[in-house]
Structure 1
Amino acid sequence: MPQPLPDPFRHRRLLLKGAASVGLAGWGGAAAGTAAAAASSGVAGEASAAIPGSARAVPLSAVRLLPSVYADAVQANLAYLLRLDADRFLHNYHKFAGLPVKGAIYGGWESDTIAGEGLGHYLSALSLMHAQTGDPALKPRIDYIVAELAHVQQAQGDGYIGGFMRKRKDGTVVDGKEIFPEIMRGEIRSAGFDLNGCWVPLYNWHKVFAGLFDAQSYTGNTQALQVATGLAGYLATVCAALDEAQLQQVLACEHGGINESFAELYARTQDRRWLALAHRLYHKKVLEPLAQGRDELANLHANTQIPKLLGLARLHELDPNPGYAETTRFFWQRVTQHHSYVIGGHGDREYFSGPDTIAAHITEQTCEACCSYNMLKMTRQLFGWAPHAAFFDYYERTHLNHILAHQNPRTGMFTYMTPLMSGVAREYSSEENDFWCCVLSGMESHAKHGDSIYWENGDTLFVNLYIPSQVAWREAGASFELTTRYPYEGDIDIAVKGIAAPRATTLALRLPAWATNHTLLVNGKPYQAAQGHGYLLLRRQWKAGDKVRLSLPLDLRMEAAAGNGQVQALLRGPMVLAADLGPSDQPFDGLAPALVGADILGAFKTVDKQQATYRSVGSGRPGDMTFKPFFSQYERRAAVYFNAYTEPQWAASEAAFRKEEARLKALAARSVDVMHLGEMQPERDHDLQSEISYPVSYRGRMGRDARTGGFFSFRLKCGDGPLVLQASYWGEERNRDFYILVDGVRVARVKLDASHAGVFFDEDYPVPPALTQGKQAITVRFEPEPGHTAGPVFGVRLYRAE
């Protein structure tokens, strides 16, 4: 079976000072265990060691976290989970089944047509947290939710359970169950996120299935499988009424990993009808190009696609299909190597950009947290099939720098996006009135920080993440304790706390690809370990009291953004460092900082090595900056990426900036009025009116759009002509078609179709003098062509023609 490339960050490890990148052995290279050890001398292992052909994670219940930032995140999340009310998540389930409601519905997305998704995630988070911590307050909640869903299902009478709602054409909001008889009749109205007036109902159910399965897996709740089977029967009836074309039309609406749900149900019941349906739920439009080895991800909604591949991977595990396996590997390779930012996340405004173009997409809307949540799941699957340290080089990068950054451990709240644009603060959820998808996946992510530290197969224990913890390795009757301040410090200590009987086993320690050297001690003496697939393989008869110390160098290095060597980020070991630009509750209106010099890396000086704090000396522009771990800057404004210039390049860049500054100053002098769309006070001052219109923010600029059937309008001061109306747009908008009207008269039809890649641009529309003659003000209106969107428009200016 073809194997994936071994190094997801290979292209990024080119150091600024010209050091060669650190490569890993190819998948088809020398046999595991035959590479020479890095240590020049030491104690030989007692027996040869080899990497097993597969691996499984040590059960989460066998791992307990010791004090660290990861344990802090778990505790903050546990407190939040216990503050939440199951009956409020159950509100719609009870209501639509005709049962008494027991709690007021939550706000945010839980009060929108996607309502009900939160219950599935909450059930998963409680189940994972129960396994991670053993907290006795959790299982009664899990059992209660499952029992209530069983009551709902009994009241419905046909297997159905659901909390999502449907918005009818007349605007009324009703039980979402109403759409399914229409769909079965072939009346299918499917768009990216809407199915017959419901917001992603199959995606919603995927989360409910997952919650039920997790309740069974982590707490032994057998009733959960019964509820899942009943719901599957209802959905199977719907799908049975559809031909292939109709089913593909349904799948055009985001459906999460509903294929995975049925694959997993087959794994638990061995009922082959669920396997057959899982294979049928194959979204051809997206999956066929990937199956053919084509990266056509640009402009696709990122998180919509990942669960489809997770489903393919699960199907391959249950019903081996090399095509499914290779499709999953290809997707993982493309995302991790060509679409990911330095923190491991991907996506801008939730969408993939073209491969190797992330340097042009460093904005305030990067890195939707759900994407990394799902990519880490995929990484676990691929590692389990064929263990290699490279998978966990990516996993660690993303887990540390994105997932930890996604939660504020002081409040337990979560971000949706993790902005990488310089100076943009992270925005966190509220306790009860958001429940975005990333809040819900965040409840899960921060309930399971111990789930991927240790993996096993036979007599081999992999240590993939260096997170302080204890593990009971039941296969070998042994327990280990891992203590470290990594990634702040490079020493990692592993002690054998107990072992049932002497037995030769292998401890496989991941040697990160960025580690140019290492030292390894066993009981205080140098140890010569074999190496294979990125691991140090320590095979010996372990006894209680044995101690291992792995020391890794945590040197600074620069990494270039994929596709653009001038855009650089600073790392120390696996940790991304970012410039601290001040507290998030204070405004930042400065320019994006840059780094300038012939030896930028050499210009950094240590401020506090134990806290990984450094400062640029002489290289920072407009001034030098203090750098700290990015993830830890929860309530700070930060800069992650920097344009790296030589002194002549910086001088040329400054000159171009001053020229543009002069142009804008001259334009301002001729302006009659300016409308800052998307900003509250200017919109009030200009009497903004709108329907089906929303403020937006992108790349530091506020704007507004109007969806099909809507509009927005506002008043501008004017005078006698000739006058020009200028509107600003983002150059990569696609399929936008709308009209601009002045006092009810159309003055322009605008079609935006990615004609100005990577930049904002201005379009000028001369205003007929008759429309302004003798007037003090005019009304400007933007309205879309039916089926399209107007804008977003990032500001409007009325100015005098030269």
Structure 2
Amino acid sequence: MPTIARAKSSLLQTERAKPLPLASVRLLPSPWLDAVEGNRRYLHALEPDRLLHNYRTSAGLMPKGAVYGGWESDTIAGHTLGHYLSALSLMYAQTGDAECKRRVDYIVDELAEVQRAHGDGYVAGFTRKRDDLVEDGKVIFAELKRGDIRSMGFDLNGCWVPFYNWHKLYAGLFDAQAHCGNSKALPVAIGLGGYIDGVFAVLSDAQVQQVLDCEHGGINESFAELYARTGDTRWLRLAERLRHKKILDPLTAGKDVLPWIHANTQVPKIIGLARLHELTGNPGDANAARFFWDTVIRDYSYVIGGNADREYFPAPRTISKHITEQTCESCNSYNMLKLTRHLYGWQPQARLFDYYERAHLNHILAQQDPATGMFAYMVPLMSGSARNFSKPFDNFWCCVGTGMESHAKHGDSIWWQSADTLSVNLYIPSVATWADQGATFRMETAYPFGEQVAIALEQLDKPRSFAVALRIPGWCEGATLRVNGKPVPAGSPGDYATIRRRWTKGDRITLDLPIRLRTEPTNDDPSVVALLNGPTVLAADLGPASEPYEGAPPALVAANLLAGFAPVDAAASRFRTTGIARPADLSFAPFFQLRDRRTAVYFRSFDEAGWQREQVAFAADQARQQDLARRSVDVMNLGEMQPERDHGLTAKNSYAVTYRGRHGRDARTFGFFEFTSKVRPGPLVLQATYWGEERDKLFDILVDGTRIATEKLSGEHPGDFFDKDYPIPEALTKGKETVKVRFQPANDKTRCAPVFGVRVFTPADPLKTT
């Protein structure tokens, strides 16, 4: 087991980069400052006592405010408080807002009181639900210690992700200590650590792994950080024990096990390994972090820097097949940016911040509406989709929590220091104080809309020699650099331009980064492309989000796509197509700004011959659909309110879903859905539509109580919806005008996959051609 001395010495073996403290950076007017101010208004609007409601009731204390709605009224209750505590602390560091610090101190005092009332170190706000009974989540830990462990992915003994919840609380306590100087936060963290350690101390290693099969955030990071702040090796031992071997061992060995597993569940575990590497020097932990980052960026990331579809990693390098309304959960990019910071600290590389800039600009800024301060859970990329923003007091999704944090710290990764070098990684207008050199820099720029970045050395206690390194983005050709008006070498794309000289107060650096329009293909299909202007992802504006988009996905048809774009307002990255878009020309603007619009980000591209072939194939499919419509007896559009009412749908533990623009319905464990369908005499077929990559779904289909099929879906039709036909025995419809159709899991361990429509029709006449 590493000793404290060894851990400290490992940190000193190489000079690492670290960002300038957030409190040393102040943002100037820009979209990032707009985001911070919108977030600050929201943080002020929230009431700490309402977020503390379940914490106090758990300890037998009278609550001081009514519980909020949404997830805060569900079994994940309490997770928002940890995010809120972090966001307040970060906002205080970023802006000096005294009200944010006052709230931090108040919340920590309240948590300390809750912990004293429990008397055993426990402090939490989550609950457990059994049928209609909602009870304090603390009850599950006695069960775990007895060996009664029921881990179901996101549910641990009936409680929704309790260790994930604690990871957020720990982060909030650490941020309160680090950014607000709160001296009471660490004792609360230590007391809670004692309680958690007591739970795991009585479990075998196999039982620990069983617990970790439930999403647990980065609880390993929490205890690594507790060790770093206390020097107590008890917490290091616990951090290393809380290693989810099923996922982390293969990644350490360089094996990709990400397909079809929940994406954001994995990133915090990897961040935990990164933090452990920094404390112990274990090379395997660093290898896992680097391999994971490289794999996700190369094989699973979209043009805006986000990843995952329906929250899960699909098959690698299949981006073109997963452009849906459920892409890019915002928590994922929040965590990928945190991981990127760790990797950059070990070995500064411009490519790391090429990714960071991409996701920070095109996903994180797109996630928030600065006018309202609200956040999007998903940032969808499917043509015609729009962002769904949270409501102030009625959602409290995970992405609301990470959104509060993301938009409280936009200054945290602009300026980095390493030895006597100051690196500029993000071109965000700001003023930064580099205390080690007694220097203050002011950066003014209209980037990413303007090409010039001007950096002035506003204050310097005395002339000094040091280096300033400026990142030249990987996409940028022809950058130019001047110091006090004199040209100096600008470096290569994807590298740094480093200026080492003796500096004096008033020196000025001017960097010009030529911005050009360009296309970028998906990683699996070069004919599916997105459009960027410099670092900014552009999107076609398909109309207001308040109105439905009913057209086909637009396409681009030209031998030279870029020649078909004309600037409308180049300084604002706004363009319009000139005859190359189908079915009509399109206006393009920065994706992150189109918050209240329906958009298209990816486009299938064709030459003229390819487009003609596409039209022929479309006409053939339309003829097939028309023939099927003529033979249809009844059509059930599942997941749509009026058709479900018209068909008398009844359901239990079943939910309407929308995926790729199609509505459907699932049935979960112990659930079902059932509806009335018209029938007619003679042979009939029941046809159900499924998404072709559903896995591990086993369910029965019944007609008037008789099972006509048991379906097992295992991902046999990747990348598309497909129809499955089930003949209905004529005995079940004889003499009837209607029947009951029922879908239900085949046993108490399975689910019925989402069904995206059901049709009852007469078989085609084999002698008739269409």
**Common fold: TM-score over 0.5:** yes
Aligned to 2:155: 194
Aligned to 1:58: 20
Aligned to 2:10: none
Check if 1:285 corresponds to 2:246: yes
Distance 2:672 2:323 in 1: 30
Contact 2:693/2:715 (<8 A) preserved: yes
Check if 1:344 corresponds to 2:284: no
**Range moving further from structure 2, 656-665 or 396-405:** 656-665
Distance 1:533 1:552 in 2: 12
Distance apart, 1:527 and its partner CA: 2.1
Distance apart, 1:148 and its partner CA: 0.3
Check if 1:752 corresponds to 2:700: no
Query: In structure 1, which of residues 320, 325, 338 is the aligned counterpart of residue 286 of structure 2?
Result: 325
Map residues 421-436 of structure 1 onto 2, 5 A cutoff.
Answer: 421-436=382-397
Q: Deviations over 1:461-514 (max 9, x none)?
A: 111000011111111101111111100111111111111000011111000011
* Amino acid in the other structure paired with 2:602: Y
Query: In structure 2, which of residues 464, 469, 482 is the aligned counterpart of residue 521 of structure 1?
Result: 482
**Range moving further from structure 2, 238-247 or 526-535:** 526-535
Map residues 438-587 of structure 1 onto 2, 5 A cutoff.
Answer: 438-528=399-489, 534-587=495-548
Query: In structure 2, which of residues 142, 163, 178 is the aligned counterpart of residue 181 of structure 1?
Result: 142
Distance 1:225 1:534 in 2: 40
Map residues 44-83 of structure 1 onto 2, 5 A cutoff.
Answer: 53-83=15-45
Check if 1:787 corresponds to 2:749: yes
Map residues 660-675 of structure 1 onto 2, 5 A cutoff.
Answer: 660-675=621-636
For residue 671 of structure 2, give the secondary structure of its aligned residue in structure 1.
strand
Aligned to 1:109: 71
Query: In structure 2, which of residues 100, 124, 132 is the aligned counterpart of residue 138 of structure 1?
Result: 100
Q: Deviations over 1:742-789 (max 9, x none)?
A: 111111111111111111011111112222222222111111022111
Contact 2:472/2:492 (<8 A) preserved: no
* Amino acid in the other structure paired with 1:210: A
| Superposition TM-score, scaled by structure 1 size | 0.93
User: Percent of aligned positions with the same letter in both sequences?
Assistant: 60
Contact 2:174/2:185 (<8 A) preserved: yes
Map residues 217-236 of structure 1 onto 2, 5 A cutoff.
Answer: 217-236=178-197
Distance 1:774 1:129 in 2: 71
* Amino acid in the other structure paired with 1:211: G
Check if 1:774 corresponds to 2:735: yes
* Amino acid in the other structure paired with 2:460: I
Aligned to 1:28: none
Distance 1:429 1:496 in 2: 41
Q: How many residues align?
A: 750
Aligned to 1:401: 362
For residue 538 of structure 1, give the secondary structure of its aligned residue in structure 2.
strand
Query: In structure 2, which of residues 655, 659, 670 is the aligned counterpart of residue 698 of structure 1?
Result: 659
Aligned to 1:651: 612
Aligned to 1:15: none
For residue 762 of structure 1, give the secondary structure of its aligned residue in structure 2.
strand
Contact 1:731/1:757 (<8 A) preserved: yes
Distance 2:491 2:322 in 1: 42
Check if 1:266 corresponds to 2:227: yes
Distance apart, 1:53 and its partner CA: 4.9
Distance apart, 1:525 and its partner CA: 2.3
Distance apart, 1:721 and its partner CA: 2.4
Q: Deviations over 1:534-565 (max 9, x none)?
A: 11001122222221110011011111111211
Query: In structure 1, which of residues 580, 588, 593 is the aligned counterpart of residue 554 of structure 2?
Result: 593
Distance apart, 1:533 and its partner CA: 7.3
For residue 342 of structure 1, give the secondary structure of its aligned residue in structure 2.
coil
For residue 763 of structure 1, give the secondary structure of its aligned residue in structure 2.
strand
Check if 1:122 corresponds to 2:84: yes
Distance apart, 1:173 and its partner CA: 1.4
Contact 1:603/1:616 (<8 A) preserved: yes
Query: In structure 1, which of residues 681, 706, 710 is the aligned counterpart of residue 671 of structure 2?
Result: 710
| Superposition TM-score, scaled by structure 2 size | 0.96
For residue 593 of structure 2, give the secondary structure of its aligned residue in structure 1.
coil
For residue 122 of structure 1, give the secondary structure of its aligned residue in structure 2.
helix
Distance apart, 1:416 and its partner CA: 0.6
Distance apart, 1:531 and its partner CA: 6.9
Distance 1:53 1:796 in 2: 63
* Amino acid in the other structure paired with 1:316: H
Check if 1:255 corresponds to 2:216: yes
Are the structure 2 counterparts of residues 650 and 99 from structure 1 closer, same or farther at C-alpha, using a change threshold of 3 Å? Answer: same
Contact 1:577/1:640 (<8 A) preserved: yes
Distance 2:254 2:101 in 1: 45
Query: In structure 1, which of residues 63, 85, 96 is the aligned counterpart of residue 47 of structure 2?
Result: 85
Contact 1:125/1:447 (<8 A) preserved: yes
Are the structure 2 counterparts of residues 417 and 532 from structure 1 closer, same or farther at C-alpha, using a change threshold of 3 Å? Answer: closer
For residue 132 of structure 1, give the secondary structure of its aligned residue in structure 2.
helix
Q: Deviations over 1:115-137 (max 9, x none)?
A: 01011001000000110111111
Distance 1:230 1:682 in 2: 55
Aligned to 2:325: 364
Aligned to 1:686: 647
Aligned to 1:797: 759
Q: Deviations over 1:186-207 (max 9, x none)?
A: 1111111011111000000000
For residue 693 of structure 1, give the secondary structure of its aligned residue in structure 2.
coil
Are the structure 2 counterparts of residues 657 and 532 from structure 1 closer, same or farther at C-alpha, using a change threshold of 3 Å? Answer: closer
Contact 1:740/1:783 (<8 A) preserved: yes
Distance 2:491 2:607 in 1: 43
Distance 1:54 1:616 in 2: 47
Contact 1:716/1:779 (<8 A) preserved: yes
Distance 2:573 2:756 in 1: 39
* Amino acid in the other structure paired with 2:265: T
Distance 1:674 1:533 in 2: 55
For residue 267 of structure 1, give the secondary structure of its aligned residue in structure 2.
helix
Contact 1:53/1:386 (<8 A) preserved: no
Aligned to 2:591: 630
